[in-house]
Structure 1
Amino acid sequence: MPLPVNDQEWPPPHLKREMRLYREWGAWYAGDPDELADVYGSTGMMHGIGLDPKGWDRPSKGFTGWIQRAARWFWGAPVPLGQVRSTKLHVPIAGDISATSADLLFSEPPTLRIAGKKSQARLDRVMRDAGIYGSLLEAAEIGSAYGGAYLRAGWDTEMYDHPVMSVLPPDAAVPEFRYGRLSAVTFWRVLAEDGDRQVWRHLERHEKGRVLHGLYLGTPDRLGHQVPLADHPETEIYADEVDEDGGFDSRFPRGLLVSYIPNMRPHRLIRGTSLGRSDYQGVEHLMDALDEVWTSFMRDFRIGKGRVIVPDIFLDSLGRGQGAAWDPDREIYAGLGMLPPPGAQANSMLTITQFAIRVKEHVDGGKALAAQILRGAGYSAQSFGESDGSGQQITATEVHARERKSFSTRGRKTGYWNPTLQWTPDVLLSIDREVFGRKVSADKVEVHWPDGVQPDPEALGRTVELFNRAQAMSVETKIRTVHPEWDDDQVREETHRLRDELGLNVPDPDRLDDVLVPSAAGDE
């Protein structure tokens, strides 16, 4: 399917609901109070946009309907008349959720294994030089916020001698799925815009074996018409690469140069879609309430400042028509020519106002809301640094027990990541072979995920020592217990070193087939 050529609405109308969700989740992820106020409608009269997800498809009747929807959200309430500045406070818990989700997946990256030492060595170097593991971490964080992310492989022979990979957010893509897998996708980006008149867009479409580029000149809500790629400096580099159809060979005939990773499925608001759902889905109102609690907390601090009310006779006149002032640091005042009321104290004419600041109530309410937000997003509070207050050291097993919710969510997400991690070595080495001429390939890709919690080295050492004393563990098993992430070659090399350095009577792993094993008849 070629690139769009007609002056159609952009983004396409069938993605309107997804784009509204992306805009809402993006505001929470960014943590910008102005953007949140704009999304929920408190900064302008945006009729029915981004206020209540349940009301997007229901028409609103005039100003009254808009006010009713806005009133459901703390961030939808406008700043009261006469108030100089907005006093709303935002707690960036959404960003913490996405960052922690990415850390649980890729703070300790998985191991990718392929057949062939030369190919494995080249893959490891490309993964290191191209910063692929950093891209995986970035994609995991974006996917947590927006419900999914795209990884795009490519090359630039002028700058790099290896394949490269970039991360693209889902709010700049028009995907096409077949049986839940990405079959084609069109990315777009705005290159330049002149107010409400002209917008330059670059469209990049990926199909099986093909990549197409197009430059369009339109308006903010219309794609416009296609113009030559050489008309804009950011797309002229593709002008000499594309053929008469506006594309070129992707150098990867087995699939796309792009992979989509859903954060979690199913999508609870759009049934039947192959897109993933955000970690924020269903807890937006709780995050809104958390901001309201902390705003109330700061309001207590603001109105709880001590104030002194004094009578007019304590004020010093600043001149006719210029008012009066009172110096709270003044030490001596002239006596009043009047008798004080019976039983009155010397300072009875001064009134001190000091409101209580409800610290415990606000903190407890904020913690309860935060715990519910994290639970709704699929995580344990312990994953975010919240402890039980005991101060005692815990083992890896206890960490797993306390963070069971987080590790269950991590386990579900690894299942969605496995196809992409198997695609990554294949596409990178295919580009490395076809573009850079290296004789490498990726066959039988294996993905090995780490445990997620590192065991205590001291406890692991005691365990290995106890099994060694009982003569119930071989040297190879000891090595694999201490280094579970090592492959067979690394274990074999370590066994050789131990045998040579310590003089252990360990059979040569390369000649295990020559070791004689007595038969049952021989034993008799």
Structure 2
Amino acid sequence: MALAENGSPWPPPAVAPLYREMGTDDAWYSGDRRRLADVYQHQAHRNDGRRRLWARHQHPQPGRHDTRLHVPLPADVATMSADLLFSEPPSFTVADPATQARLDEITEAGGVANTLLEAAEVAAALGGVYLRVTWDASFTARPLLTAVHADCAVPEFRWGQLAAVTFWRELPSDSATVWRHLERHEVGRVLHGLYQGTADSLGTRVPLPEHPDTAPLADSLGAEGDAIETGLDQLTAAYIPNIRPNRRHRGSPFGRSDYQSAHDLFDALDETWSSWLRDIRLARARLIVPDGYLRDHGPGRGASFDDDREIWQALSIPPSETGGGITLSQFAIRVAEHQQTAEAITRQAVQLAGYSAQSFGLGDSMATTATEVTARERRSMITRDKKARYWAPALADMLLVMLRLDGTLYTPGLAPERPTIAFGDSVSEDPQTVAQTLSLLQQAQAVSTDTKVRALHPDWDDAAVRAEVDRILAETGAAVPDPMQAGLLP
């Protein structure tokens, strides 16, 4: 296969419907009110008889702003998904010690844990994300793992597995011309192409040096002028679906967004909060005063009322005139009704996304142990485990690619292995609870010092645990001296 042909429509018709859906999800994820209004006001085909909040054309009075309020629940949902998966960094292990040391160096120096956290959040919003392995010897002496968002990729699947993918990006331009850089990943090679076109057409392919952002790539291309040979029998990119199946596209290999079917709930939540804020604005105390209480500023200059004035001169108002005094106007705020409605909508939205209401602070806020938290958030934990099963194979493949490339480019003699992925605990035990548990076990003489140290520091290796145990035994006087060293034996 090769790069896209000149004049191809862009985005390709095969993925254009998916891109439109991702555009709507992205607007909710961004929380930008203007983007939400643009998305819904330009979707004339979605005339389902319901006047969505963000589909209404607002014509505020001069000097007043748009009073619609957005609640960032969609962003919270995406963040929750990422936190459940990667708030505690996963561990990557291989059998060979030298390979393990190099793998640790690559993942720690490259900030792989942070890349995964970002990728998981975007995947929850857009329905999936791509992991890409790249390298740049002029920049760093190790392979790099990067995340590519799903709306910047054109994938090709075979039997439900990613067979090739073309990543693309728009480059800066000072004219109406749209410059696009296409990066196609195939088994054994990566192709690059620069195109000069329009907003909806890829246009004509031109040499990479024609744009400063792609000019450095020209020196690394092979004899054919557009490809970089990897020498590997596997792709240097992988697709991770957020979760399957995609209810809108049954049988599709694409994952579904956590927002699927929840857009109306998000809109209703925004409308509820906007109504609540409107009640607060209308409930501000206002004084209604007769004309005689106003101070005349002269012809054409109007009149005003000074509510801080303490002494008033005599006013020519008949004492028996009804309504001749100052009237206070203040409406009630429907707090309970709005709060209950907003909470009910939020519960339904997060449940639809696959999470427990307790994960979003809806419920008992009393301090609990990690076991109790896990029990209360069982639905969230089930969703986390389901998503982790999609992440583990693809992530292991990309780490293997990184090791293989590292052995070829930077570390000769390295023995690449496919790492084993162990996801971290999403709920950390409270230190006070751990201390109380260890204290009770100590009183029952049912735990050793080594076990206590390992329970308190699960991330320590054997050498660190042994050193800490020796220090504890020495400080408490429980260390048993070596008879030979103490001179007790002849």
Compute the TM-score of the two structures, normalised by the length of structure 1.
0.84
1:400 aligns with 2:379: no
1:367 to 323, 340, 343: 343
**Residues 252 and 427 of structure 1 are in contact (CA less than 8 Å); yes or no, is this contact kept in structure 2?**
no
How do 1:364-513 residues align onto structure 2 when only pairs under 5 Å count? 364-389=340-365, 391=366, 393-457=367-431, 459-460=433-434, 490-491=461-462, 494=465, 498=469, 503=479
5+ residue gaps, structure 1: 53-67, 507-524
CA distance 1:338–1:242, shift in 2 (3 Å): closer
Tell me how far 1:257 sits from its aligned partner. Answer: 1.1
Of 459-468 and 160-169, more deviation after overlay is shown by 459-468
Tell me how far 1:477 sits from its aligned partner. Answer: 6.5
Report the AA paired with residue 364 of structure 2. D
Q: Distance in 1 between matches of 2:334 and 2:443?
A: 60
Report the AA paired with residue 359 of structure 1. V
**Residues 317 and 324 of structure 2 are in contact (CA less than 8 Å); yes or no, is this contact kept in structure 1?**
no
Q: Distance in 2 between matches of 1:18 and 1:444?
A: 33
Query: What RMSD, in angstroms, separates the aligned Cα atoms of the two structures?
Result: 2.7
Q: Distance in 1 between matches of 2:83 and 2:452?
A: 29
1:167 aligns with 2:185: no
Tell me how far 1:151 sits from its aligned partner. Answer: 1.2
2:284 to 297, 305, 310: 305
CA distance 1:317–1:463, shift in 2 (3 Å): closer
**Residues 119 and 147 of structure 2 are in contact (CA less than 8 Å); yes or no, is this contact kept in structure 1?**
yes
Report the AA paired with residue 217 of structure 2. Y
**Residues 70 and 77 of structure 1 are in contact (CA less than 8 Å); yes or no, is this contact kept in structure 2?**
no
Of 74-83 and 181-190, more deviation after overlay is shown by 74-83
Q: Distance in 1 between matches of 2:216 and 2:164?
A: 23
Of 177-186 and 83-92, more deviation after overlay is shown by 83-92
TM-superposition CA deviations, 1:218-241 (whole Å, max 9, x none): 110000010111111111111222
Q: Distance in 2 between matches of 1:338 and 1:364?
A: 48
Query: 2:172 is paired with a residue of what secondary structure?
Result: strand
CA distance 1:14–1:462, shift in 2 (3 Å): same
TM-superposition CA deviations, 1:290-343 (whole Å, max 9, x none): 10011011111111122222222222222223332222223333434564328x
Q: Distance in 1 between matches of 2:33 and 2:446?
A: 61
Tell me how far 1:80 sits from its aligned partner. Answer: 4.1
For residue 522 of structure 1, what is the aligned residue in structure 2? none
1:325 to 300, 304, 311: 304
For residue 124 of structure 2, what is the aligned residue in structure 1? 144
TM-superposition CA deviations, 1:136-175 (whole Å, max 9, x none): 1110111011111111111111111111121110101101
Q: Distance in 2 between matches of 1:47 and 1:481?
A: 56
Query: 1:239 is paired with a residue of what secondary structure?
Result: helix
Of 293-302 and 355-364, more deviation after overlay is shown by 355-364
How do 1:93-108 residues align onto structure 2 when only pairs under 5 Å count? 93-108=73-88
For residue 332 of structure 2, what is the aligned residue in structure 1? 356
Q: Distance in 2 between matches of 1:493 and 1:434?
A: 33
**Residues 148 and 278 of structure 1 are in contact (CA less than 8 Å); yes or no, is this contact kept in structure 2?**
yes
Report the AA paired with residue 454 of structure 1. S
For residue 486 of structure 2, what is the aligned residue in structure 1? none
CA distance 1:78–1:22, shift in 2 (3 Å): same
Query: 1:271 is paired with a residue of what secondary structure?
Result: coil
Q: Distance in 2 between matches of 1:319 and 1:497?
A: 86
**Residues 201 and 217 of structure 1 are in contact (CA less than 8 Å); yes or no, is this contact kept in structure 2?**
yes
Q: Distance in 2 between matches of 1:352 and 1:187?
A: 64
Q: Distance in 2 between matches of 1:232 and 1:329?
A: 66
Tell me how far 1:216 sits from its aligned partner. Answer: 0.5
1:130 aligns with 2:106: no
Report the AA paired with residue 408 of structure 2. E
CA distance 1:481–1:333, shift in 2 (3 Å): closer
For residue 233 of structure 1, what is the aligned residue in structure 2? 212
**Residues 251 and 434 of structure 1 are in contact (CA less than 8 Å); yes or no, is this contact kept in structure 2?**
no
Report the AA paired with residue 48 of structure 1. A
5+ residue gaps, structure 2: 483-490
For residue 30 of structure 2, what is the aligned residue in structure 1? 30
Query: 1:275 is paired with a residue of what secondary structure?
Result: coil
Of 462-471 and 379-388, more deviation after overlay is shown by 462-471
TM-superposition CA deviations, 1:19-68 (whole Å, max 9, x none): 11110010111110000000111xxxx3536xx3xxxxxxxxxxxxxxx4
1:48 to 44, 55, 79: 44
Q: Distance in 2 between matches of 1:264 and 1:159?
A: 35
For residue 97 of structure 2, what is the aligned residue in structure 1? 117
**Residues 252 and 430 of structure 1 are in contact (CA less than 8 Å); yes or no, is this contact kept in structure 2?**
no
Query: 2:235 is paired with a residue of what secondary structure?
Result: coil
For residue 272 of structure 1, what is the aligned residue in structure 2? 251
1:216 aligns with 2:208: no
1:262 to 227, 241, 246: 241
CA distance 1:341–1:106, shift in 2 (3 Å): same
**Residues 396 and 419 of structure 2 are in contact (CA less than 8 Å); yes or no, is this contact kept in structure 1?**
yes
Q: Distance in 2 between matches of 1:88 and 1:471?
A: 63
**Residues 129 and 147 of structure 2 are in contact (CA less than 8 Å); yes or no, is this contact kept in structure 1?**
yes
Of 114-123 and 79-88, more deviation after overlay is shown by 79-88
Q: Distance in 2 between matches of 1:19 and 1:245?
A: 32
**Residues 306 and 354 of structure 1 are in contact (CA less than 8 Å); yes or no, is this contact kept in structure 2?**
yes
1:155 aligns with 2:155: no
Q: Distance in 2 between matches of 1:182 and 1:352?
A: 69
Compute the TM-score of the two structures, normalised by the length of structure 2.
0.89
